[in-house]
Amino acid sequence: MKVEIIERNENTLRFKIFEESHTLCNALKAELERNKNVTFVGYRKEHPLLDYSIFILKTKNESAEKTLANAIKNIANNLNELKKELK
C-alpha cells in the first residue's frame, strides 16, 4: 500500500491511499471514528477509474499522524486476533 501526504499540520492530515478498495478505507475510517480525539474523518474516491482514495483526518489534542498510526496498529492487532480465532 502506498500513502502520499497531501497536507500536514499539527491537527489535520490529508493523504492519499493508493491501490486499496473501500474495504480497507471503511475499516480505517471506522477505527478512526472510535477515537475520541478525532473531530472529523472522511474519505472519497475521486473517480472509479483512479486507483486512490483521499482521506481527511482532524484531531483535537493528539497529532493527526500519531492518531493515524495508532488506528493502523489497532486494525493490524484485530486482524491478527481474528486469524488466531479462525485457526
Where do the H-state alpha helices sit in 1-87?
22-33, 64-86
Every domain of the chain and the residues it spans: 2-86
**CB within 8 A of 12, min separation 6: which ones?**
56, 57, 58, 59, 64
CA distance 71 to 81: 15
* CATH fold of 2-86: Gyrase A; domain 2 (3.30.1360)
CA distances from 32 to 5, 17, 18 (A): 17, 15, 19
Mean pLDDT of 28-34: 97
> Residue 87: what pLDDT?
87
Q: What's the predicted TM-score (pTM) here?
A: 0.89
Mean pLDDT of 64-76: 94
